[in-house]
Structure 1
Amino acid sequence: MALEKATIDIVSGSKAGNRIAVLFNPTDYTIERSNSYKTTSIPGLSGPLIHFINGEADVLSMELFLDDYTDAPKAGRKSVRERVDELAGLLEIDNDQHAPPIVRFVWGKLSFTAIIEKMTRKFLLFQPDGVPSRASLSINFKEYRTLPALLTNPRLQSGDKSKRRVIVAGDSLWLLASREYHDAALWREIAEANDLDDPRDVVAGDWVLVPPLENADGPLGRL
């Protein structure tokens, strides 16, 4: 079975359609994902309330190896120095889109559309005249998704429509705001909508109105 070479395809900008072949396939790669949370301290509780804010983009990390000694450049082939400069150029601002280009790392069934978030260049071996002949590149690709792609699975419920909720035993406006708005500090919005001067003037069984969050431009949904 023929060895399939990994490539970095340029997706956007003035060089869209160009393909950079990886000299040696990576020996391994890592895909990392994280979420952003906000913590809110509430007086009297033993710990903060934790609210989900949003998911972060996947990050694909790998190390690429470049070597002129084991794969010496021939006529029409690029040297290590030229290959490093070509890859580092993907971090530069493209004149057509005023931002670094979007790229796609492709290797077998892996196809990862991203921007290059970070690249560390390490030169390991040099020719007698000081020209690098061996290098390693540590690259972080950060997943790129368009707004329509992010909205493919829209949320079914948000804080931009009025709701009625019943107070249960042990409940409070702080906890209600945390559940509905994912921000306990917004309990005042609920208190004002229900003409409550004291947020503690609610007991189990009371129904309260949970209003939409609004700004000067219109409804602002929060999750």
Structure 2
Amino acid sequence: MLGELAKMKLTGYQDVGFTKRTGDEYTALVNPETYTLNYEIQSNQEQASGTSANQPTFNRISPRKLDFEFLFDSTGALTQDVIVNPFAAAANQGVWEQVEQLKKTVFNFIGQTHQPPYVELAWGKLIFKCKAEKVSITYKLFKPDGTPIRAVAKVSFIEVIPDDTRVRKEKTESPDLTHVRTVQEGDTLPMMCYRIYGDSALYWEVAHVNKLLNFRKLTTGQRLFFPPIDKESKL
């Protein structure tokens, strides 16, 4: 329907590749007014004794974190137009049931995988693959018997990127990191070593690590492991 309001949707998955669903989903009753996307660079802060300052050195870029607030309501205030907004029908559930559905989707332990679920968060153009890091629920309104009828959940998600996707994204070419390369037509081991290490003479080390009997005969499509090599120690 043209102009239909898109609701934030969370889908649970069992695997880091996001191919096998858990069967649990949660659609936000009301879209959040804001969300916070956190970026963090971690640096080493150590300094020598007797000094008054230090030069921070880069350690790593932490995974992105996303913070949301979800509203749960069973007061009836959000069910005035269920026909126009079918998602509002969820408000007919009690607050505890709404909270439990969110927890099942993003937080509860899965017996088959021995860990909480992976989560795909989708809202318009925002697609965030992640895991829940923290869920904090505040109950606000209550019936006379103490049953909650309104609550707010603050949820922190940490981004999940499969290793192969992360490596492609980083395009890492540093010689002090591990690389896996696929042999292309015309490649030679000395040529590949030069591209990665800047030194074609290191082909012998790579041939030894990969247990190559004849480094001169590489096969197109063959995958080779290029480990970190301390070139200084080879001098």
What range describes the TM-score normalised by the shorter chain of this pair?
Answer: 0.5 to 0.7
Residue 109 of structure 1, CA deviation? 0.8
Counterpart of 2:26, as a letter, is I
Alignment of 1:21-40 (within 5 A): 21-40=27-46
Q: How far apart in 2 are the matches of 1:126 and 1:91?
A: 25
Residue 46 of structure 1, CA deviation? 5.3
**Conserved 8 A contact 1:10-1:104:** yes
Moved over 6 A (4+): 73-76, 160-164
Q: How far apart in 1 are the matches of 2:174 and 2:128?
A: 30
Question: Using a 3 Å threshold, how does the CA distance of structure 1 residues 6 and 163 change in structure 2: closer, same or farther?
Answer: closer
- 2:127: which partner in 1? 111
Higher helix share: 2
Q: How far apart in 2 are the matches of 1:86 and 1:211?
A: 57
**Conserved 8 A contact 1:118-1:140:** yes
Name whichever of 99-108 and 31-40 sits farther off.
31-40
Counterpart of 2:63, as a letter, is A
RMSD of aligned C-alpha atoms?
Answer: 3.0
**Conserved 8 A contact 1:42-1:49:** no
Q: How far apart in 1 are the matches of 2:35 and 2:91?
A: 30
1:41 is aligned, of 28, 38, 47, to: 47
Question: Using a 3 Å threshold, how does the CA distance of structure 1 residues 97 and 122 change in structure 2: closer, same or farther?
Answer: same
Q: TM-score, normalised by structure 2?
A: 0.63
Q: How far apart in 2 are the matches of 1:7 and 1:26?
A: 12
Alignment of 1:11-26 (within 5 A): 11-12=13-14, 16-26=22-32
Question: Using a 3 Å threshold, how does the CA distance of structure 1 residues 17 and 109 change in structure 2: closer, same or farther?
Answer: farther
| Aligned length in residues | 169
- 1:147: which partner in 2? 163
Question: Using a 3 Å threshold, how does the CA distance of structure 1 residues 55 and 91 change in structure 2: closer, same or farther?
Answer: same
Unmatched 5+ residue regions in structure 2?
80-87, 178-195, 200-229
Question: Using a 3 Å threshold, how does the CA distance of structure 1 residues 156 and 45 change in structure 2: closer, same or farther?
Answer: farther
Counterpart of 1:109, as a letter, is K
Q: TM-score, normalised by structure 1?
A: 0.66
**Conserved 8 A contact 1:162-1:210:** no
**Conserved 8 A contact 2:90-2:98:** no
**Conserved 8 A contact 1:163-1:210:** no
Q: How far apart in 2 are the matches of 1:85 and 1:123?
A: 13
* Percent of residue pairs identical: 24
Residue 87 of structure 1, CA deviation? 1.6
Residue 18 of structure 1, CA deviation? 3.0
User: Quick check: 1:80 aligned with 2:64?
Assistant: no
- 1:157: which partner in 2? 174
